[in-house]
Amino acid sequence: MKAFVLSSSPRRNGNSSILAQSVREGLEESGHEVEFAYVDDFIRFFLRDCRECRKPDGECAIDDGFRSVFFERYLPADGFIAATPIYWYGASAQLKAFFDRTFCYYAASHPRSAEVTGGMLGKRVGLVLSSEETFPQVSASIVSQVQEFSRYTRSTFVGVVHGIGNARGDVYKDPLDPVASARRFGRDFFTRHATDYQLDTPRSGRVWG
Ligand X SMILES: Cc1cc2nc3c(=O)[nH]c(=O)nc-3n(C[C@H](O)[C@H](O)[C@H](O)COP(=O)(O)O)c2cc1C
Instruction: Restricting to residues 178-197, name those near ligand X by CB under 6 A.
Output: none
CB of 98 to ligand X, least distance (A): 15
Residues 18 and 178: beta-carbon distance below 8 Å? no
13-21, 35-43, 99-107, 108-116 -> range binding ligand X (CB under 6 A): 13-21
**131 touches ligand X by CB under 6 A:** yes
Q: Which CB sits closer to ligand X, 1 or 138?
A: 138
- Residue nearest ligand X, CB atom distance: 14
Q: Which CB sits closer to ligand X, 109 or 166?
A: 166
Q: Which CB sits closer to ligand X, 15 or 102?
A: 15
Say which residues have a Cβ less than 8 Å from residue 136's Cβ, sequence separation at least 6. none
Q: Which CB sits closer to ligand X, 85 or 186?
A: 85
**140 touches ligand X by CB under 6 A:** no
CB of 177 to ligand X, least distance (A): 15
Residues 23 and 186: beta-carbon distance below 8 Å? yes
Residues 45 and 91: beta-carbon distance below 8 Å? no
Torsion sign (Cα): 142, 143, 145, 146: positive
42-50, 73-81, 83-91, 95-103 -> range binding ligand X (CB under 6 A): 83-91
Q: What angle do CA 90, 13, 72 make, to 5 degrees?
A: 75
114-122, 144-152, 161-169, 187-195 -> range binding ligand X (CB under 6 A): 161-169
Distance (Å, whole) CA 22 – CA 189: 12
Distance (Å, whole) CA 7 – CA 83: 5
CB of 123 to ligand X, least distance (A): 23
**17 touches ligand X by CB under 6 A:** yes
Residues 182 and 126: beta-carbon distance below 8 Å? no
CB of 13 to ligand X, least distance (A): 8
Distance (Å, whole) CA 129 – CA 24: 14
Distance (Å, whole) CA 193 – CA 71: 29
Which stretches of the chain bind ligand X, using CB under 6 A?
9, 11, 14-17, 85-89, 130-133, 138, 165-166, 168
